Amino acid sequence: QVQLVESGGGSVQVGGSLRLSCAASGYTYSSNYMAWFRQAPGKEREGVTAIHTKSGSTWYADSVKGRFTISQDNAKNTLYLQMNSLRPDDTAMYYCAAGLLRSGVRVDRDREYTYWGQGTQVTVSS
């Protein structure tokens, strides 16, 4: 089992920044990918970014490329999401996820991930 706890959400104005954290505990070695997803009201959950925990290889959704950065601190078992130049359409509940993904699968597909945090709300206002 892996437990994930997100923090760092909040309200920010357009153009502002936030850093989300996801503290992982338990059998974290059982996962090879960690990711951030988000879900806005009335919309499906979408993949934002993912990282291969061993190689550090990353993937970003086109909508956040150049603005968001995923990183990990293995010593602290913590995943981060630095969000800059925030826009109103970034408003959503953000979820941290972890899973053991097979080679070649899409890292932005939520069903590939086994473990999920409870989410942290990000609200961007103009």
d(CA 84, CA 67): 5
What tens digit of pLDDT does each residue of 13-67 get? 999 999 999 999 987 778 899 999 999 999 999 999 999 999 999 999 999 999 9
Q: Quick count: other Cβ atoms within 10 Å of Cβ 98?
A: 26
What tens digit of pLDDT does each residue of 57-74 get? 999 999 999 999 999 998
What tens digit of pLDDT does each residue of 62-121 get? 999 999 999 999 899 999 999 999 999 999 999 999 999 999 999 999 999 999 999 999
Q: What backbone phi and psi angles, to 5 degrees, belong to 53?
A: -70, -20
Token pair 């059998």 is found at 27
DSSP line for 85-109: S--GGG-EEEEEEEE-PPTTS-TT-
Contacts of 106 (CB under 8 A, 6+ apart): 112
Q: Quick count: other Cβ atoms within 10 Å of Cβ 113?
A: 23
